[in-house]
């Protein structure tokens, strides 16, 4: 038999392969609550405009509430023959309330219906991700406050560069995730317009009130062009783009956790909660949670690229290609959410090995820049000359197998006669980090102040939520 929802034009059912490639209920069923919310708002608007009776609208609302309860309770039987969540809900509604269910689809199409459902879903995901990222920021800011003075090596090219504090390093990621939240908020603001009532592509001849349905569903306004309303997936692309950058930041932090945990670094420890062992090497403690977070970025970035490739060649308005937008998006946002939660857990769980970090920070001539700065500041030497002198002193120390602060004053003066014993006041890693008090610098006083500021901001956000 043909599908009652659209089969009047057809005399036989679709072939088995056609049904298999066409069906989406296996994955779009997760939109059931959003679909029902849109239908309730649409029915109420139709009654308000006198397009259907208030009695029918009341029956539709009652029936949809029952359908939602059945799905939520796991008592609903989904039919693949009905293709998608929209038809499954409408067919069950007809079984519950009878012919009045047939009036629900007046003035709308599955095209604007799915666009509305998906916007509601993406908006909900953005709100969830924002809360998770805020929790991750809080974990990092807490760690920064606790380690404002814990010295570690700062790297460029993964080579020891200058001493920084572990707290300062944590706050760098707080800033990154703040930008991620800002991008998500921007995407949410731009996507918060309602496609409902655009119908298939051209609008409808019924005198509907799109402002009413937009307001009922929490949208700022209805979309202004019916063609754009049903064919746009920018809102998904923007969310995936923001999510991909957030996943990239998660991956960078995960990468650092992986090498910080290694025997070569030993900067941090993670407990049994976020590590696993080896099936053959009993000594191993593997940072698998961090490694999996690192890998999740590929799935999110892949979803963004995949949807861009789906959309790049589509003419206006709707094409069935756009059914492929959901699986990759669901997977990407699910995995991003999991990665954020796992990273927040690891940040809270990790213990910093302060002595090991400090010892590593003292290696690699990490206070060489402090020496060059001293030559500029005290001896009024041009920086390029100071850089050259410092390079000679580094070469001398390297040849002796010594640190810069282990060179004697006599050895230093052999390179630059004007150097005084005051130079040793800047050559310790403690002096180095303490001196970096410029705005945004790593000085412990800066880190304490900035960690406190962030914790106050995040607490206020949570209190206002």
Active site residues per annotation: 157, 278
159 has which bridge partners? 156
DSSP string, 219-254: -SEE-S-HHHHHH--HHHHHHHHHHHHHHHHHHHHH
Chain centroid to Cα 88, Å, comes to 32
Q: Which uninterrupted H or E stretch holds 194?
A: strand 193-194
Burial (Cβ within 10 Å: 0-12, 13-18, ≥19) of residue 74: exposed
298 vs 306: CA distance, rounded Å: 12
Distance linking the first and last C-alpha atoms of the chain: 51
193 vs 224: CA distance, rounded Å: 9
48 vs 209: CA distance, rounded Å: 9
329 vs 238: CA distance, rounded Å: 11
* Beta carbons within 10 angstroms of residue 324's beta carbon: 15
Question: What are residue 162's phi and psi, to 5 degrees?
Answer: -140, 150
Token pair belonging to 371: 């020496």
242 vs 130: CA distance, rounded Å: 11
Token pair belonging to 331: 């997977």
336 vs 115: CA distance, rounded Å: 22
* Beta carbons within 10 angstroms of residue 369's beta carbon: 17
* Beta carbons within 10 angstroms of residue 313's beta carbon: 8
Q: Are 416 and 389 in contact, with CB atoms under 8 Å apart?
A: yes
Burial (Cβ within 10 Å: 0-12, 13-18, ≥19) of residue 118: buried
């Amino acid at each position: 038999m043909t599908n009652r929802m659209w089969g009047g034009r057809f005399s036989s059912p679709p072939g088995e392969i056609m049904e298999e490639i066409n069906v989406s209920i296996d994955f779009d069923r997760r939109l059931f609550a959003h679909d029902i919310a849109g239908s309730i708002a649409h029915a109420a608007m139709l009654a308000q405009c006198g397009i259907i009776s208030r009695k029918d609208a009341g029956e539709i609302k009652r029936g949809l509430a029952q359908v939602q309860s059945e799905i939520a309770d796991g008592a609903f039987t989904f039919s693949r023959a009905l293709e998608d969540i929209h038809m499954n809900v409408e067919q069950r509604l007809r079984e519950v309330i009878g012919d009045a269910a047939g009036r629900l689809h007046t003035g709308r199409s599955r095209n604007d219906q799915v666009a509305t459902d998906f916007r509601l879903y993406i908006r909900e995901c953005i709100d969830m991700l924002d809360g998770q990222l805020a929790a991750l920021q809080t974990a990092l800011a807490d760690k920064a406050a606790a380690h404002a003075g814990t010295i570690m090596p700062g790297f460029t090219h993964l080579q020891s560069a200058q001493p920084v504090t572990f707290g300062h390093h944590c706050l760098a990621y707080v800033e990154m995730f703040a930008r991620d939240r800002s991008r998500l908020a921007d995407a949410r603001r731009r996507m918060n317009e309602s496609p409902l009532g655009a119908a298939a592509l051209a609008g409808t001849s019924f005198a509907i009130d799109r402002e009413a349905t937009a307001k009922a569903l929490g949208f700022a306004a209805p979309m202004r062009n019916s063609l754009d309303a049903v064919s746009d997936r920018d809102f998904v692309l923007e969310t995936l783009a923001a999510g991909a950058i957030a996943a990239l930041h998660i991956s960078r932090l995960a990468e650092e956790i992986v090498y910080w945990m290694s025997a070569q670094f030993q900067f941090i420890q993670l407990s049994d909660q976020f590590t696993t062992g080896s099936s053959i090497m009993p000594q191993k403690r593997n940072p698998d949670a961090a490694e999996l977070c690192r890998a999740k970025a590929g799935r999110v970035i892949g979803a963004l690229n995949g949807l861009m490739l789906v959309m790049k060649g589509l003419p206006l308005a709707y094409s069935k290609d756009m059914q492929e937008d959901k699986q990759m998006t669901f997977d990407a946002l699910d995995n991003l959410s999991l990665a954020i939660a796992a990273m927040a857990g690891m940040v809270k769980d990790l213990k910093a090995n302060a002595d090991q970090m400090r010892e590593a920070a003292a290696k690699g001539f990490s206070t060489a820049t402090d020496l060059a700065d001293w030559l500029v500041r005290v001896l009024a030497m041009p920086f390029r000359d100071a850089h050259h002198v410092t390079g000679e002193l580094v070469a001398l120390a390297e040849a002796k197998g010594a640190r810069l602060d282990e060179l004697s004053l006599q050895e230093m003066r052999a390179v630059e006669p004007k150097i005084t014993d005051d130079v040793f006041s800047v050559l310790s890693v403690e002096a180095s980090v303490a001196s970096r008090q410029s705005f945004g610098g790593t000085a412990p006083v800066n880190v304490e102040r900035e960690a406190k500021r962030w914790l106050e901001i995040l607490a206020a956000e949570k209190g206002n939520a």
